[in-house]
Amino acid sequence: MTSGLEKLLAAEETPARMAEWREVCRQAIYELIELAAEIPKERRKSAVNSQTAPAHKEFLTIPELAERWRIARPTVYNRLRAADVKVLDFAQRGGRGRKVVPMGEILKIEGRQLKRL
């Protein structure tokens, strides 16, 4: 048994066949839209986000760390310096480069800052 799509692909291109082809495509699109509408919005968002962003980062940049800690970038540098943390930097000595901080060091600093209420 052949499907309607297979018949359309095997047939000659005539205006009637092209109209039939458009209708088959339109129906397929409507079916996909209906299926997508059945998926809860939050689940769709999480599926998209999980494909675009890694679940676990091994390093964070200084701006990402400032956002995570909700402090200014210069304060991040001061706290890293006070904790004697080594950062990964591929810039030439004295040059401006994007510095990254290992997640293990970040978690150590955060662990020292935890307090009981």
Number of domains in the chain: 2
Rg (the chain; Cα; Å):
27
pLDDT at 68 over 90: yes
Domain that holds residue 45: 4-52
**pLDDT, tens digit, 9 for 90 and up, residues 74-100:** 999 999 999 999 999 888 888 888 899
47/66 same-domain check: no
92 and 63 co-located in one domain: yes
Q: For residue range 13-35, what is the model confidence (pLDDT) as tens digits?
A: 777 777 887 888 888 888 888 88
- Give the CATH number of the domain where residue 104 resides: 1.10.10
Which secondary structure element, helix H or strand E, spans residue 36, and what is its range? helix 15-38
3-state secondary structure of 17: helix
CA distance 80 to 105: 9
For every residue of 37-59, DSSP letters joined together read: HHS-HHHHHHHHHHHHS-S--SE
Domain boundary among 52, 72, 90: 52
